[in-house]
Amino acid sequence: MDASFAHNQRRTKIVATLGPATSSYGIIRALADAGVDVFRLNFSHGLHAEHAQRHATIRAVEAEIQRPLAILADLQGPKLRIGTFAGGSVTLRPGAMFRLDLDHRPGDETRVHLPHPEIVESAATGSNLLLDDGRLKLVVREKGADHLLTQVVIGGVLSDRKGVNVPDVVLPIPAITRKDRSDLAFALELGVEYVGLSFVQRPQDVRDARELVGGQAWILTKLEKPQAIDNLDEIMALSDVVMVARGDLGVELPPEQVPVAQKRIIRVARRMGRPVIVATQMLESMVHAPTPTRAEASDVATAVFDGADAVMLSAETAVGDYPRAAVEIMDRIVRSVEGDAGWTLTMQAATPPPADSSVADAIAAATRQVAVSVDAPVIVAFTLGGRTALRISRERPDCAIIGLTPTDEIARRLCVAWGVIALSAGQEVPVYGIETVVDQALEAATLSRCAGVGDAVVIAAGLPFGVTGSTNTLRVARVK
């Protein structure tokens, strides 16, 4: 990949969802030009053929602009829904009793089919059920072998096949459904960089996905269930990337708890060195308006101040009327925050201690300190699998980070990492001496216009070369 674009790189990355509004080459190219780093394919919608076409278009755009672009295949996960009504919909009154059962007949004002026996089995008296994205709320008053008798707490119109959320209960269902397995196999065959897991509840959900993926992509865990927050550290440790998925998280948690959960997730992700994406409704009004609200602009800015690696657009680019404008405005907001002196101080003050006592973590922490001491404009990380670059990204240094990898595949995976300019050498990692590595680092720093004559370049690498996770060497060289 050509490195010449890197000199003006934004630190916080942008993820954009593709959909009916953004399927053509011209639109996808425009989004990439506007600053998108990662494109999301939402497998909750669309046919495999449509996703394959978008994937091919992204790769064509990538070849044209000579900058790595990553692709996220976001699996639908277990969507829980009620059955149908004889009249298409009913109105539930607060205080009324309403039965959810395993009877397949169409429902009425007193009952409806619940095609999920695991909910009936796991719920208990006092459990809350949220319907239609939390618009209606029921509480279980009695439980039978084949039904739940609930009382309506928050009423309203309820129509066919609306979603069901059970925030109080860990359900014995896998995070990967039969549909997800088919979608996963297809996405891996296409060659995506990340696989998004929806509705993760337990660490085992991530372990199961990792076994299926087999190292062909990074696992991106979407944190949208209270049960996942309860197991945050263990789930984070098993994941490669995490997402604060505020849509369903906002349904299952009280609204006042979502910002606190967001900050906690980002804080833990920073400590463990996992890239973290903040998503859902960031510029929601731009689905139909050419500009965001001031509150939305502040929401994006808050995520950047919190230290998120990336911010994401969903409906704004998938079905919105102003997809390019949404990316451009998000880019401007991020750059404005990153140009603020207070943001720089916040990043420096919020750097957590190393996650463990490994040599690799110590080298990563030292690169930031050395870069400050020698006034280096760039750190070059030789990274076989991407981990060295992620460790240095975790330190949030006040200079550019070049992640120099042997393949386009790893360069693309690093597109989500804060501050990392991902470059591929287009060859296997050289098994030469340290001087060859220094020469390659200086060449990458100058080609990317991150360093000029006389500038110091801090270099992190591992000896012996070609061994993943062996980062143990730090060098400083000057551009001649």
* Secondary structure (DSSP) of 411-430: HHHGGGSTTEEEEE-SSPPP
Return d(Cα 308, Cα 377) in angstroms, integer.
Answer: 22
Minimal CA–CA distance to 316: which of 347, 285, 337?
Answer: 285
40 tagged catalytic: yes
Active-site annotation holder among 29, 81, 179, 335: 81
225 Ramachandran zone, left/alpha/beta (phi>0; psi -120 to 50): beta
User: Where do the H-state alpha helices sit in 273-416?
Assistant: 294-306, 315-318, 323-338, 341-349, 359-373, 387-394, 408-413
Annotated catalytic residue within 12, 17, 57, 280: 280
| Strand-pair category, 89-92 with 136-143 | unpaired
State the DSSP code for 191.
T
Q: CA 197 → CA 16, 81, 228, 373, 381, distances in Å?
A: 17, 19, 12, 41, 29
Q: Is 317 marked active-site?
A: no
Q: Which residue is catalytic, options 11, 12, 22, 40?
A: 40
The gap between the terminal CA atoms of the chain, to the nearest Å, is 24
Catalytic residue flag (residue 81): yes
- Rounded CA-CA distance 424/325 in Å is 30
Torsion of CA 253, 257, 259, 264, to 10 degrees: -100
Round to whole Å and give the CA distance between 124 and 143: 7
Q: Could you tell me the strand order of the sheet in which 147-154 lies?
A: 111-113, 97-101, 147-154, 136-143, 128-131, 164-165
Q: Which of 222, 387, 391, 394 is catalytic?
A: 222
Q: Strands 38-42, 13-18: parallel, antiparallel or unpaired by DSSP? A: parallel
Cα distance between residue 318 and residue 118, in whole Å? 33
**Ramachandran angles phi, psi of 125, nearest 5°:** -55, 130
Cis peptide bond prior to 464, omega within 30° of 0: yes
Tell me the catalytic residues.
40, 81, 222, 280
